A and B are shown apart, each in its own frame.
Chain A
Amino acid sequence: MSARTLDFSVYAVLIAFALAAPFVFPNYTSQVAVMWLMVLMAVTWDMTGGQMGYNSLGNVIFFGLGMYASAVVQIGLVYDVAEYTSAFGAIVVDFNDTQYFTGLVLGIVAGGVVSTIFAIIVGPFMLGLRGPYFAIGTLGLAVAVAELVSGWEYVGGGGGISMPVYPGIAGEGSLVWYILLGLLALSAHLFCRWLYSTQFGLAINAIRDDEDKAEAMGIQTTRYKVVTWVASAFFMGMGGAVFGNMSGFIEPLEVAFPTTTFGIFMVAMALVGGKGTLWGPVLGAILFHVVKEWTWTYLLGWQWVALGAIIIINVVYFQQGILGWAQDKWPRLFGVSVDRGPSETSVEAAE
């Protein structure tokens, strides 16, 4: 089976599952929607973390900024944002359907755009840091952004913002968030699949393997690094915008900039599945989410211990992740081969 057929078979299976899930497990629509969000997070994190070797601990910034940008746009279209937030939810604004859906679409777009702009501004500085310095730098940035937003009264400060309520019948809303998150995950993955098949993909792989060499070969490394992070920020921003609406209420520390939960999860998921592979982050996110939900249900009180154990085992004993391990074990499946080509004689001569 060629890589192409394999890819599209997996897409077919996942899409079939995505279409069936709301009917087969109607009580779990939100959980599966969050799973698609996790896939989105792992896939976009892997763009820099896996493919480019820049392990960001701050990609939740884009998630949170997207969320806040959409909130401001959605509310601001109908009402004065400062008045709305200062009332701490006491004002319930009635959105008619047109207002709501216009706001939602514009809000999601704004989420992507604001995160993109932020990545363009901080990218050239942050991506000048290498290795652990980049990881710590982005973590620090995430914490700083969360604190700044907490102190910004216009967007409700630490008190947060209540999002406009979905106008349709009960249950319809969760289906809409489900579809949007699923579509975002799918489009991010298709985008990555295309990107990694281009010479751009090779360039960021080269940066991962040896950035000094890449520079010595004339590759404009900063440009590639910033573009990659920006693309990742764009998808993450839109994901944040949808998730904010899904939560119904957003506040800086737990929902918008959760550095210790989603911020770590997105790294852990990509590592478990196999960072730097096309399907590793997807596999990792699905497994991680299932295990997480399972431990939350059956190991309540120990769920963080269980997650911590998974991360430690992964990092200490199983660094290449599931698909990375499979790639080492069955290289031929992944297109690694030595073929006995016509020039065998010239090799002999050279050696």
Chain B
Amino acid sequence: MSANGTKIQIELKGVSKAYGGVIANKDISLQVPEGKITGLIGPNGSGKTTLFNSIVGYHPIDEGSIAFEGREISTLRVPEIARLGMLRTFQQTRIYKKMNCVENMVISISHRGGGGLAGVFKSAKDAATVERAEHLLEFVGLYSKRKLISGELSFGQQKLLEFAMALMNQPKVLLLDEPTAGINPTLINGLIDRLKRANEEFGVTLFVIEHNMRVIMNLAEKISCLAHGELLATGTPEDIQNDRRVIDAYLGAH
């Protein structure tokens, strides 16, 4: 429990990661509260995606600890962490491009509980699953494209599909790597609205990397800023906007 009574869902303590001589993350400690939207900003190359990769188990960390709901996860691998209920989306959108949208959704159901192989021999057209898939596709506005091969969707639509796939998995936490990058400005408002609704209606904790300041200030309750691999500041959007060090980092002052 933190001071204001919300539970801490992800807690990083002193996380460091270097690629050879390049220090991508240095001694980063931060907390992601449950049921909230937390932002992560920083100039290009400041180590945001590396930090995401560390959290979801994409590579081992050099030092520090990462806890998810109090459980140490820094030694677990990607699929194991995903099955605990922590998913990430990719900066370069990744979907199953030769399958149609509904199939993309159906195979994104939760694989939690370890389970034997028995459940997977259910029909790919299982009515309840398809209905939920279509409902979520409608939620992101892709219902009419549901039978289209997903690789033929526009980039923005693919991002929406990837987001819907993540929701299909019913995660506890969703780590979004630049959800609005490459999406046209009118679609961005719709996406912000859906991110907020996913957070409120489905109770999914969001941890969002974002370059678009308007988006992140609008979305997050708490924002952390990285620069040169180090944590610069954490605070409310107002604090961050007025933080001298953050402004300097973005404008390149020393």
Spell out A's residues near B (CB within 8 Å): 197-203, 205-206, 208-210, 212-221, 223-224, 227, 276, 331, 335-344, 346-347, 349-351
Contacts and interface: CB of A to CB of B under 8 A. Distances in A.
Contact of A205 (B103, B119, B121, B125): B103
Given A215-B79, A218-B112, A198 B120 contact: yes
Nearest to A348: B141
A199 B107 CA distance: 7
Nearest to B140: A350
Nearest to B108: A217
Nearest to A347: B141
A309 to B, nearest CB: 28
B126 interface: yes
Contacts of A223: 117
Interface string B142-157: 1111111100000010
A227 B117 contact: yes
A220 B119 CA distance: 13
B145 A202 contact: no
Interface string B91-115: 0001111111001001111111000
A201 B124 contact: yes
A213 B107 contact: no
A200 B145 contact: no
A167 to B, nearest CB: 41
Q: Which 4 A-B pairs have the closest CB atoms?
A: A350-B141, A218-B82, A209-B96, A343-B143
A133 B117 CA distance: 28
B154 to A, nearest CB: 9
B87 A216 contact: yes
Given A198-B123, A199-B123, A212-B94, A206 B99 contact: yes
B126 A199 contact: yes
B106 A209 contact: no
B145 A338 contact: yes
Interface on chain A toward B: helix, strand, loop, or mixed SS? helix
Interface in B163-188: 165, 169, 186-187
B122 interface: yes
A250 to B, nearest CB: 35
A40 to B, nearest CB: 23
B206 interface: no
Nearest to B112: A218
A224 to B, nearest CB: 8
Contacts of A219: 79, 107, 111
Nearest to A328: B149
B177 to A, nearest CB: 11
Given A199-B107, A339-B144, A218 B79 contact: yes
A75 B165 CA distance: 55
Contacts of A210: 94-97
B121 A198 contact: yes
Given A200-B117, A218-B83, A350-B190, 13 more contacts: A197-B123, A197-B125, A199-B107, A199-B109, A199-B119, A199-B122, A199-B124, A205-B98, A217-B82, A217-B169, A220-B79, A220-B111, A221-B79
9 contacts: A206-B96, A208-B98, A212-B94, A218-B169, A221-B79, A336-B149, A343-B141, A351-B156, A351-B190
Contact of B98 (A198, A209, A215, A346): A209
A337 B152 CA distance: 12
Given A346-B143, A347-B142, A347-B144, A216 B78 contact: yes
Contacts of B123: 197-199
Contacts of B156: 351
Contact of A216 (B56, B119, B143, B144): B56
Contacts of A206: 96, 99, 107
